[in-house]
Chain A
Amino acid sequence: MARDRRPWGRDPDRRRQKTSVLVALVLASLTLITLDSRTSSPVDPARRAVGEVFGPIEVATASAIRPFTAVPDWFRSHDAMQQDLLDLQAENSDLRSQLATDDYNRNRLQEYDGLTAAARSIGYSLVPARVVGLGPSQSFSSTVTIDAGSDAGIHPDLTVVNNDGLVGRVLRVTRTTATVLLVVDPDSVVGGRVGRSMDVGFVHGRGVLGSDGRLDLELVDDSAVPSKGDTVVTWGSEASGPYVSGVPIGRITSVYTSVRDSAQRAVVDPYADLGALDLVGVVVPSGTDSDRAVIEADGGLR
């Protein structure tokens, strides 16, 4: 058929029609961008609607492939595991002796105990969830989908942690899923506190995921100098702030002076491996209604 064989043929009507379709689509995209750039975006309900439909698809896909992603673990030999066990035992006894002997470490432990006790007395619980979707780096934002939503008692601005430390905060929820902004995202700002000196500052993401994903710590007090190896924990805000206090964020790996604003900056290596997240916990107030078992502050299940 001639008209199909020659998409840019001499038929001017058809060509005009094609150009107008293209112009319409480009204008539609630009309109959408303009609408969504505003602070109270009219696109949010559409996002939620698409999430309600697509969230369960992501959950299903992730559970379908979970058996296969576990395959590499099966091939680890008995010897390798034995070696791991020995290494861990050595590390454990090493840590134990450090705790017993080192005054400084004992002090620091007390500090952490205090923080943990504070968190316990405020009464937080964890809703366990699995990461089912990871936003591509091509979108230049670091966000993940987790398989717990408003049915599980989750709402925006809750803290998300895992075994190792802070993961991020909840941005928006659907009934069955929630979108989490990771701490490495360039838009993410977390109030941080250096564990030893108690200096407060802000931790910014660099937007790089994976093994070289780092955070930048900027202290409020210009004269304070953080030292290498110090732990940074969340500073937290009272009541309804997005981050609860006392969650370990990462370890300071290097310190440098910012010439532009003559302040000390530090590079923080996050404890949580944000490129390979699986099981995470969402911090909810104690007594939250949830569709799954909730881990209470004392470690029990409810």
Chain B
Amino acid sequence: MNAARAAIAAAAVAVALALQVSFFPHLAWDGIVPNLVLLVVVGAALARGPQFAAVLGFAAGLALDLAPPADHVAGRWALALVVVGYVAGRVRRDARPTPGTVLATVAASSFVGTSVFALSGLLLQDPVMGIPELLEVVLVGVLWDVLLTPLVLPPVMAMFRHLEPDRTLA
């Protein structure tokens, strides 16, 4: 059962990654695409809490780091998505999050995630880029993620809630 749950979570990440790399570039604005993998991690965090989301964030980030055509130093997206999973997971309350909470969480997570990635790049001097360009990418990324939230988050959250092993909540 546990292996099956992990397989389903991995499949969700793989689908998100495939769409992000192969489909959304056709709609991209200056190459900036919605970060579907991040949305999956945020969905997991809101449905399952920080610990599960941090682990999933690490795995998903690793996939983003290693799957072609990635060329940055591996581990940077893993670090960013661990932070995102953990921070977004702390938003989780007893009640189901309202649509407003979900949108705010996605916006904050997208900002934090891309920023952590960009800052790690500045520290490593991986791509040498100016702060204005970085900010533009971060903000357009947030806009994309918020736009796609109504389409992506409800099914993802429902799926992760369904996967919860000891689900007794009404």
Contact = CB atoms under 8 A, between A and B. Distances in A.
Contacts of B67: 50-51, 54, 58
A4 interface: yes
Nearest to A57: B18
A269 to B, nearest CB: 16
B12 interface: no
Contacts of A171: 71
Contacts of A36: 73-75
B30 A174 contact: no
B32 A33 contact: no
A46 B67 CA distance: 9
State which size class the interface on B falls in. Answer: 35 or more
A18 B3 CA distance: 21
Interface stretch (B97-105, B118-126, B146-154): B118-126
B72 A140 contact: yes
Contacts of B109: none
B58 A29 contact: yes
A32 B78 contact: yes
A41 to B, nearest CB: 8
Interface residues of A, number: 67
Interface string B16-54: 011111110110111111010000000000000111001
Interface string A129-144: 0001111111111111
A29 B82 contact: yes
A133 B22 contact: yes
A278 B128 CA distance: 28
Contact of A33 (B23, B25, B35, B74): B74
A22 interface: yes
Interface string A1-35: 10011111000000000100110011011111111
Contacts of B54: 21-22, 25
B91 to A, nearest CB: 10
B155 to A, nearest CB: 19
Interface string A147-190: 00000000000000000000000011010011111000111000
B66 A46 contact: yes
Nearest to B130: A207
B32 A136 contact: yes
A7 B55 contact: no
28 contacts: A4-B49, A5-B94, A7-B92, A26-B79, A29-B75, A29-B82, A31-B75, A33-B76, A34-B75, A35-B75, A61-B19, A62-B22, A133-B22, A135-B21, A135-B71, A136-B35, A137-B33, A139-B77, A140-B137, A141-B70, A141-B126, A172-B68, A174-B68, A179-B71, A211-B30, A212-B30, A275-B30, A275-B31
Given A7-B90, A135-B71, A140-B127, 20 more contacts: A22-B54, A28-B78, A29-B76, A31-B75, A47-B74, A50-B63, A50-B67, A51-B66, A58-B68, A61-B19, A65-B23, A133-B69, A138-B35, A139-B72, A140-B72, A143-B69, A143-B70, A178-B68, A210-B29, A212-B30
